[in-house]
Structure 1
Amino acid sequence: MRPARTVVLALTATLVVAGCGGGPTDQEQDVAFRNPVYDGNLPDPFVLRADGAWYAYGTQGRLGTMPVLRSDDLVTWEVVGDGMPTLAPWTAAGRHWAPEVVALGGRYLAYYTAMERETQQQCIGVAVADDPAGPFVDDAAVPLVCEHDEGGSIDASPFVDVDGTPSLLWKNDGNHVGVRSWIRVQRLGDDGLTLVGDGPVDLVTHDQPWEGHLVEGPTVLVRDGRYHLLYSANDYGSADYGVGWAVADALTGPWSKPSEEPLMRSSAEAAGPGHGTVVTTPGGDWYVHHAWPPDAVGAAYPGRQMWLTPLTWTAQGEPVLDGPTTVVDRLP
C-alpha cells in the first residue's frame, strides 16, 4: 500500500447576503466542496453513520490494519487510527482489505477480507466492537467465508433489508485463479456472525465487455421497492476500472443490467473510480468511492483517495453518477 498523507481541507463557500429590492435572503448559500475529500491513501472506502458522525473505513495502509476516519460533514475528515490492531487467529499479517461495518444487536460488526494463514488465500472474517471506531475483535479460528476452490472470497458487504433481515454480499476471487468471478449473497443469522439457510445465490458476473475479467465491490440499496446493486469491474489499478449498475425486484434476483456501459468511468479529473458505498444525507444520495489523479505516477502517486460523487435518479428510477468531478456545487 502507498503511504497515507495528511488530510487537506478543500472546502470553498460563498455566503450570499440579503440586499435591497427582494434579493436572496441570508439563508441562501452557494456552497461547494472539492474532491478528493481525503487525499491520503484509503482504498475501498466504506462510510457509516453512527453516534451522530460519519465513520470511514478502508483497506490496510499506513494507518493500520483497518484505517478509521471520522467526519461531521463527509467533507472534513480526521484520522481516528487503527480500528483492528489485533489480528484474528486465522489471518496472517498484510492484505487486510475493504472492511464494511453494520450495527446489529447493539454492536458494530466489521466484515473484512484478509489472508488466511494456512492457505495464503484471501478470505472473509467478521470482527465485533462496541464503538464504531473499534477496536474490532475477531477471535474465530477460521474465516466466515472462504471458497477455496474458487480462488477465495473477498469484498464482503453487509445489507439489512427493509424487514430487518441481514444478509452478506461478497465476491469469489475467481480471477485470482483463472475462473469466473461472481457477486453472491447469503442470509446472515440475526447476530450477524454466521451464514444461515441454503448456500449463496449468484447475482451478477462479468458478462459485458467493459467489465473485463471480474466484478467486485458490491453495495445494495432499496429505492421505491426495487433493489439496486452498484458494483465495480475491470482492473482496479487501471483507468478501465469503473462502476456498474444492476436492478432487481428481490435481493436474490433475478438481476438485470439495463445498460452495457458503466454507470461511472474515469474522467480527465480522476482515474479508476470505484469500490464504494452509497450514503444518504439531507442533501441527497452520494456514492463514496476511491479514485486517483490520472497524471500522478511514481513518487507523485498519492494512492487511491476518497471521493464523493452525487448520486441522482431519473424519473424512471435509474441512478445517475455525474462524476468523478473535482468541484461539486453543493455540500453533502
Structure 2
Amino acid sequence: MHVEQQGYRCVMRKRLCVLLVVVLAVPFSAVPSAHAAPLAPKLLLRKDFPDPEVNQFADRYYAYGTGSHETRVPVATALSPTGEWTIIGEAMPEPAAWMDEKAGVWAPDVFRRPDGKYLMYLTGRRASDGTRCLGAALSENPVGPFAPLGEEPLVCKPEEGGDIDPVSFVDDDERLYLLYKSNGPGDQPSIIWLQPVAPDGVTLTGDRRELLRSDLPEEDDVIEAPVLIRRPSHYVLFYSVKSYTNSDYHTSYATASALAGPYTKTGGRWLDRTSFDETLDGPGGADITTGSDGQQHAFFHAWLGRTQAMRAMFATGMDWKDDLPILAPPGGGTRSD
C-alpha cells in the first residue's frame, strides 16, 4: 500500500499495477547482482523498530513496526521515504480480546480499504495457549487508534506451529489476498500461504494455496516476512531467510508466471549483511514501497551494536534489470514501471 487512490489499485502494500505477459524461466546465472557499485543504506530510525511496514497515504509516509514491552504497535511518519522519521505514538492501544495483554504485536501490515478506512493485519500471542495467531484491527486514521476486530483470531493453527507475518496483496483484477507464514512445528518446514479474502479484508474466501516452503539446507527451516509484487512478466515473492537473531538473516526472492505459482527460488541473496559498503548485522524483514512519484524503496531492519538489543530501521533504493530487482542508492532508484 503505497499510493492513496480510489479503490485498491496501486494503494496497497507491495504490488504494482501492470499487465500480465508471458514469463520466461530465469536460471540462477541470469539473476542480476544485487548492486554494481558500493552502496550505503540510509539509517532512518536509530531506535528499536523491527519489521518495518511502510506506506504512503496522501502526502505522508507511515511506518509500523513490531511492538515491545513499551508499545504494542509503534507508528512513525515522514514527508519522504528517506526524510526525517519520527515515532509519533502507539497505533493500537488496546489488545484484541484473544491476545495476551502483556505481549506486543509482530510485523503489522496496514492498507486503505475502498471505504476509506484503514485495516491492520497483525500477529499476536493467544492468551489461552501462547500460539501465534493472525488478527485484524480497523481505524479511520492511518495513525490509529486501531480497534481490534472479532473475539477470535483471523487465522490460528497450533498444529502448524502458529502463524505470523500477515501481509495484503491486490492483483491486477483488484482481488484481495492475505499472505502469511506458518512456523512449522519441530523440524517441519515453514510455509508461505496465499489466502483469498473478501473486499472487507477479514472474510476468508476459498481455499488457501501454498506458495513457498523452506526446503533448502541453508534456510535452517525458516522463510518468513513475505512481500509480493506484480511485475510486467511475472510475480516476485520476496522473503527473509533464517532466524532474525542470526547475523546471516537475509532477503531472497522467487518468481512465478501465475499468482498461485509454482514459484522458483533464484538460489541467490538479494539483500544480506554484505550487500552494502558497511557490514550490517542480520538485515531483513524487508518491505517494498512505491511512492506517488513512482520511486521504490526497500525498508528493512538490522541490529545495532554487538549485543543485538536494537533493530533499527534502514532504507535503500530499488531498481529493476530484466524485470528482476536490484539494489540502488536511497532516493536514486528508477521508476517502478
Aligned with residue 124 of structure 1, among 123, 134, 139: 134
Cα–Cα, structure 1 residues 85 and 95, in superposed 2: closer, same or farther, change >3 Å? closer
Aligned with residue 270 of structure 2, among 259, 263, 273: 263
Aligned with residue 107 of structure 1, among 110, 113, 117: 117
For each residue in 1:134-170, what CA deviation from the matched residue of structure 2 results, as whole angstroms up to 9, or x when unmatched? Answer: 1111141110001111101100011111221110000
C-alpha distance in 2 between matches for 1:74 and 1:224: 24
Structure 2: where are the runs of 5+ without partners?
A: 1-38
Cα–Cα, structure 1 residues 108 and 42, in superposed 2: closer, same or farther, change >3 Å? same
C-alpha distance in 1 between matches for 2:200 and 2:330: 39
**How far is the alpha carbon of 1:286 from its aligned partner?**
1.3
Cα–Cα, structure 1 residues 222 and 148, in superposed 2: closer, same or farther, change >3 Å? same
Q: Secondary structure at the match of 2:96?
A: coil
For each residue in 1:284-307, what CA deviation from the matched residue of structure 2 results, as whole angstroms up to 9, or x when unmatched? Answer: 3211111124xx223xx5511111
- Residue 327 (structure 2) aligns with: 321
Q: How many percent of aligned residue pairs carry the same amino acid? A: 33
C-alpha distance in 2 between matches for 1:126 and 1:206: 26
Given that 2:169 and 2:179 are in contact with CA atoms closer than 8 Å, whether structure 1 keeps it comes out as: yes
1:286 aligns with 2:293: no
Q: Secondary structure at the match of 1:37?
A: strand
Given that 1:210 and 1:240 are in contact with CA atoms closer than 8 Å, whether structure 2 keeps it comes out as: no
C-alpha distance in 2 between matches for 1:43 and 1:329: 22
Provide the TM-score with structure 1 as the length reference.
0.82
**How far is the alpha carbon of 1:109 from its aligned partner?**
0.5
Given that 1:283 and 1:331 are in contact with CA atoms closer than 8 Å, whether structure 2 keeps it comes out as: no
- Residue 156 (structure 2) aligns with: 146
C-alpha distance in 2 between matches for 1:272 and 1:306: 12
**How far is the alpha carbon of 1:63 from its aligned partner?**
5.4
- Residue 133 (structure 1) aligns with: 143
Cα–Cα, structure 1 residues 36 and 151, in superposed 2: closer, same or farther, change >3 Å? same
For each residue in 1:62-107, what CA deviation from the matched residue of structure 2 results, as whole angstroms up to 9, or x when unmatched? Answer: 6510100011012211122000001110101214100001111321
Q: Secondary structure at the match of 1:149?
A: helix
Q: Which has the higher contact order (CA 8 A, sep 6+)?
A: 2
- Residue 225 (structure 2) aligns with: 217
What's the Cα RMSD here?
Answer: 2.0
- Residue 49 (structure 2) aligns with: 42
Given that 2:223 and 2:241 are in contact with CA atoms closer than 8 Å, whether structure 1 keeps it comes out as: yes
**How far is the alpha carbon of 1:33 from its aligned partner?**
8.4
C-alpha distance in 2 between matches for 1:34 and 1:151: 34
1:170 aligns with 2:180: yes
C-alpha distance in 2 between matches for 1:252 and 1:166: 13
Given that 1:234 and 1:241 are in contact with CA atoms closer than 8 Å, whether structure 2 keeps it comes out as: yes
Given that 2:64 and 2:75 are in contact with CA atoms closer than 8 Å, whether structure 1 keeps it comes out as: yes
C-alpha distance in 1 between matches for 2:178 and 2:41: 33
For each residue in 1:191-240, what CA deviation from the matched residue of structure 2 results, as whole angstroms up to 9, or x when unmatched? Answer: 11121112x11111112333221110001111114211111010111111
For each residue in 1:264-299, what CA deviation from the matched residue of structure 2 results, as whole angstroms up to 9, or x when unmatched? Answer: 111243111111211123373211111124xx223x
Cα–Cα, structure 1 residues 103 and 152, in superposed 2: closer, same or farther, change >3 Å? same
C-alpha distance in 1 between matches for 2:191 and 2:212: 6
Tell which structure's C-alpha radius of gyration is larger.
1
Which stretches of structure 1, 4 residues or longer, exceed 6 Å deviation after superposition? none
Provide the TM-score with structure 2 as the length reference.
0.81
- Residue 165 (structure 2) aligns with: 155
1:65 aligns with 2:75: no
Cα–Cα, structure 1 residues 331 and 181, in superposed 2: closer, same or farther, change >3 Å? closer
- The one-letter code of the counterpart of 2:75 is V
**How far is the alpha carbon of 1:317 from its aligned partner?**
1.2
C-alpha distance in 1 between matches for 2:158 and 2:309: 33
Cα–Cα, structure 1 residues 306 and 92, in superposed 2: closer, same or farther, change >3 Å? same
C-alpha distance in 1 between matches for 2:97 and 2:121: 15
